[in-house]
Amino acid sequence: MAHSVVPEAEEILDQEFRVLDKGFVRLVDYLGGDERIVQSARVSYGAGTKTFREDRGLIRYLMRNEHSSPFEQVVLTFHVKVPIFVARQWIRHRTARVNEISGRYSVMTSEFYVPEGQNIALQSENNRQGREADAVTPEMQQEIAERLADEQKRSYGSYEKLLDEGLARELARINLPLSLYTEMYWQIDLHNLFHFLKLRMDNHAQYEIRAYADTMFDIAKRVSPAACEAFTDYVVESVRFSGAEAEALRSALGLAASEPAVPPHLEQAAEAAGITGKALSRFLGKLSHE
């Protein structure tokens, strides 16, 4: 199968999209796009076998029914510059090929992440792994930012001194802080990228990694816009209910198990939201637990 060229993706190849204060994401390479997904799903060789509308419908069907393998046919390679503490969260997603700069071979640059004032907040009282929504006072923001920067400068100064004294790079680096920027190449297929984005674009994810995820999603839209549209509709903006929650919802809507008919006002509300045709049948079927 020939390499599919996506003009919108070609336009941004190797462009740096800035993230945080000193970081970036850039698309180094890609393999395939929406066309590759539908060709793979149809086990077809050659372009133009279906209309755009039919291709989009197939992609949405695949996403809606969680048929993941066609999405794995699209591969994206990113080059990212990211604080080490973000990279350590990132690397937990073990479904990608990763190559990171090594402090054993290279002298690390003096670049550190300092959060902007509006992102400096106290520990959340009801979320053990997150911060409060509201930032600290402007005075405290400045004090903390200056303290972080001073400690980073002092740490890097010690690192440079150890290098000047001839200490091995692999030892000199060990006291460098997690705020130091690192760089890595990250290659992943679209299905696993979507899984990464589902978790890291969520409002509960740490702000810093969420900023990278949002940028990567904007890039992915240039490669596979129809797939990203389906991902938005069926994953990002969807809500899943437990069995008990669904039963409570049906009860609140007056959908008793003994009365499978759907009240007219629900059909009207669905149609007002643009849900028609087969989509309307699927929606009403969910509510009726069919």
Which CATH number covers residue 24? 3.30.1360.170
Structural domains counted in the chain = 2
At residue 254, does pLDDT exceed 80? no
Share of the chain above pLDDT 90, in %: 72
User: 252 is in which domain, residue-wise?
Assistant: 243-287
Is the pLDDT at 2 greater than 80, yes or no? Answer: no
Q: Which amino acid is at 81?
A: K
Per the prediction, the chain carries an average pLDDT of: 90
Per-residue pLDDT reduced to its tens digit, 190-245: 999 999 999 999 999 999 999 999 999 999 999 999 999 999 999 999 888 888 88
In terms of domains, do 188 and 280 share one?
Answer: no
Q: What is the pLDDT confidence band of residue 52, given thresholds at 50, 70 and 90? A: confident
Q: Which of 249, 261, 264 is nearest to 290 (CA)?
A: 261
Residue 282 shares a structural domain with residue 187: no
204/277 same-domain check: no
pLDDT band at 80 (very low <50, low <70, confident <90, very high): very high
Residues 108 and 251 in one domain: no
Could you give the residue numbers annotated as active site? 200
Mean pLDDT of 135-148: 96
- Find where tokens 């972080």 sit: 148
User: Dihedral, CA atoms, 53, 55, 57, 59, nearest 10 degrees?
Assistant: -150
Q: Is residue 197 part of a domain?
A: yes
Tokens 């992102």 correspond to 119
pTM (2 decimals)? 0.89
Once rounded to an integer, what is the mean pLDDT over residues 159-184? Answer: 97
Of the candidate ranges 177-191, 228-242, 263-277, the one whose mean pLDDT is the lowest:
263-277
In this structure, the answer to whether residues 276 and 209 fall within a common structural domain is no
In which band, very low, low, confident or very high, does the pLDDT at 45 lie, cut at 50, 70 and 90? very low
Which three-class secondary structure string do you get for the chain? CCCCCCHHHHCCCCCCEEECCCEEEEEEEEECCHHHHHHHHHCCCCCCCCCHHHHHHHHHHHHHCCCCHHHHHCEEEEEEEEEHHHHHHHCCCCCCEEEECCCCCCCCCCCECCCCHHHCCCECCCCCCCECCCCCCHHHHHHHHHHHHHHHHHHHHHHHHHHHCCCCHHHHHHHCCCCEEEEEEEEEEHHHHHHHHHHHCCCCCCHHHHHHHHHHHHHHHHHCHHHHHHHHHHHHCCCCCCHHHHHHHHHHCCCCCCCCCCCHHHHHHHHHCCCCHHHHHHHHHHHCCC
State the Cα–Cα distance between residues 85 and 208, nearest whole angstrom: 9
Do residues 21 and 208 touch, judged by C-beta distance below 8 A? no
| Final residue of a structural domain among 200, 215, 236 | 236
Angle at 44 between CA 52 and CA 74, to 5 degrees: 70
In a domain, 90, yes or no: yes
| Span 24-38, pLDDT tens digits | 999 999 999 999 999
d(CA 99, CA 107): 17
Is 98 in the same domain as 71? Answer: yes
Note whether residue 17 is domain-resident.
yes
Sorted by sequence, the CB contacts under 8 Å of residue 219 that are 6+ apart come out as 12, 17, 25, 27, 76, 78
| 184 and 279 belong to one structural domain | no
Q: Starting at the edge strand that comes first in sequence, how are the strands of the sheet with 17-19 ordered?
A: 17-19, 23-31, 75-83, 181-189, 97-100
User: Residue 81 is encoded by which pair of tokens?
Assistant: 């510059």
End-of-domain residue from the set 209, 236, 263: 236
Identify the residue with better confidence: 76 or 124: 76
State the Cα–Cα distance between residues 27 and 36, nearest whole angstrom. 18
Q: What percent of the chain has pLDDT over 70?
A: 92
